[in-house]
Every structure is written in C-alpha cells, then in structure tokens.
Amino acid sequence: DAGVTQSPTHLIKTRGQQVTLRCSPKSGHDTVSWYQQALGQGPQFIFQYYEEEERQRGNFPDRFSGHQFPNYSSELNVNALLLGDSALYLCASSFHREQQSRYEQYFGPGTRLTVT
C-alpha cells in the first residue's frame, strides 16, 4: 500500500518563473492538504482539496493555486516565484469526514523548492 508520494523531490527555479508540484494521496484517501514549511518555521497551511474543489485556504496569495484530479491526486502551482517561496512543500492526505481535523493526516516526503 503506497503512502503519500510527492514529485519532484527537489526543484530549483528562478524568480518570476512558475512551478507545479504533484502529490498522490494514500490509497483510500480522498482529501489532500498542502503545507509550506520555510526554514525555521512550522508548517503553514496553504489549502485543502476535496471532490476536486478547494475547500479551505490559508493566508496565501492568489499566486498559489491548486487542482485535484478525479483520481484524488493534486497539484500545487505557484506563479511569479519570489525568493521567499523557497521552502519545503508538504502534501498530506486524509479521508474526508465532516469532522476532518479530528483525524490524523498522512504526510508525503515533501518537495524542496529553491528559488534563486
């Protein structure tokens, strides 16, 4: 049973470019959340997708967008990259329930994005 997978593992981009990160949830999970962890910080919630729609969003600008596919996998897109976007991007999956945050999330290994 594959856990949460993310690709790529590392990525280097330059300012102004666009990037797409990918996540496949754990088998049986239908909800995907994305987090950004900058150096020395805790994970910051970006947004959550369920049934191919963004259900919740954290305090991130519109440059951060996402998508969920019918197979529950998800993409995180960041446009007009800034140096401050350099971080580890984590994807977490779970099974949707009304009381979703009362259940544990399963995290992927993350994608390390460096913006130069």
Binding residues for another protein (CB under 8 A):
3-4, 35, 40-45, 56, 58, 90, 92, 99-110
Query: What stretch of H or E contains 34?
Result: strand 31-37
Nearest to another protein of 81, 93 (CB atom): 93
The whole-angstrom separation of Cα 38 and Cα 113 is 10
- Compute the least distance from the CB of residue 15 to another protein, in Å: 27
Nearest to another protein of 46, 81 (CB atom): 46
Nearest to another protein of 68, 111 (CB atom): 111
The whole-angstrom separation of Cα 66 and Cα 77 is 6
- Compute the least distance from the CB of residue 75 to another protein, in Å: 19
- Compute the least distance from the CB of residue 109 to another protein, in Å: 5
The whole-angstrom separation of Cα 98 and Cα 95 is 10
The whole-angstrom separation of Cα 62 and Cα 1 is 35
Strands 5-7 and 111-115 come out as unpaired
- Compute the least distance from the CB of residue 25 to another protein, in Å: 13
Nearest to another protein of 42, 70 (CB atom): 42
Place of tokens 């990160």: 21
